[in-house]
Amino acid sequence: MRRNLSLMIKPSSSKCNLECKYCFYNSISSSRNIYDYGFLKESTLKEIIQKSSAYCNGGNCVIGFQGGEPLLIGLSFYKRLIEYIKCFNNGTKFSFSLQTNGTLITEEWAKLFKENNFLIGISLDGNKDIHNLNRVNRKHEGTFNDVMKGIRLLKKYNVDFNILTVVTSAMCKKVESTYNFFKKNDFKYLQFIPCLEPLENINVPLRKFSLTKEDYKIFLIKLFDLWYTDAISNNYISIRLFDNILGLFFNQNYEACDMKGVCSCQHIIESDGSVYPCDFYTYEKYKIGNILTNSFDDIHKHPTTTIFLNESTNIATKCTTCEYYFICRNGCARHRENQDNSLNYFCEAYYEFYSYSIDKFKDLAFKIKVNKVLISI
């Protein structure tokens, strides 16, 4: 039987050459018994590929690499990855993505990405001033120039890439300049993720870069206006959140995990082989197995997996009567943590945003259908 599988591997564990002020994985690692599990061994990589191939049996396996910084482990690791896939070839189709801070990209990395069809996510928070506020190296120096150098190399070798931006309180005040900066540089595939407090930060004041609900509401509406103006002018910029919402009017299901309202097992594999259901929950108590000793079927049947998935189906009372529940679905389970009645922290922001934008989404979908304009959503 053919089956599909998606994995996220952390080959460098929590190791990183940067010291971003809002790094969520650093906060998680700091709260674990073991901060850093070291580099993932080639024997562990071999086990992952062997078991993935056997599980999929000719289906599709999507592997993402994240960190920490996944380039720190070196080129040879990814060359071995390709070799092992060839060794265990049973018809399973593998595809790769990699999220990087972009500062370590060289000609050799760009060639490897292109030759093996990696989709690269680059962490870039906007122009130099905004990016350098929080994305700094170990010397607390801004990293903007190094990131842009890496992007130029990706462009040189025609590597597919997108931009991931962390939405902070400061960025909310610079929405237009950030959006225009991305347009000017021909970055047309964008993802914006809201900056949240660590799970451990309960009943403490917000950090200066964290978002309030009001911040996020203003950000969403301003960004939408800029995006919508371009979209109706046949200058479509792909923004993952908006793509997913627009897709609803074409009878498409959400592809973004955080928008589905219920969790699935994301198979986060730390460098020691430990497996967790979600990147936000790589704490010991959420461990659902180890790839060195367990099969994927074992992992899926683990009691912690079942509990984790079932808890995500809880619907806040307020959601049951909300006119926008069909769009919002109470959002990502991570955004419900430490909230009354498991209500999404950004509930009010989303409600105001959908009230403002829903008719324009419908209008845009209608125009696309009538004019048969093909866009990637």
**Contacts of 87 by beta carbon, 8 Å cutoff, 6+ apart:** 49
Residues paired with 18 in a beta bridge: 137
Contact 47, 62 (CB under 8 A): no
Q: Which helix (H) or strand (E) is 188 found in, with range?
A: none
Q: Which candidate in 129, 225, 230, 279 is catalytic?
A: 279
**What is the Cα–Cα distance from 290 to 206, expressed in whole angstroms?**
35
Strand order in the sheet with 274-276: 238-239, 189-194, 161-167, 118-123, 93-100, 60-65, 5-9, 268-269, 274-276, 289-290
- Please enumerate in sequence order all residues whose Cβ is within 8 A of that of 184, keeping only pairs 6 or more positions apart, or say none: none
Residue 130 near residue 165 (C-beta atoms within 8 A):
no
3-state secondary structure of 183: helix
- Answer whether 336's CB lies under 8 Å from 343's CB: yes
Identify the CA nearest to 108 among candidates 143, 75, 150, 78.
75
Query: E-strand spans in the chain?
Result: 5-9, 60-65, 93-100, 118-123, 161-167, 189-194, 238-239, 268-269, 274-276, 289-290
- Amino acid letter at 160? D
Does the active-site annotation cover 186? no
Residues with catalytic annotation? Answer: 279
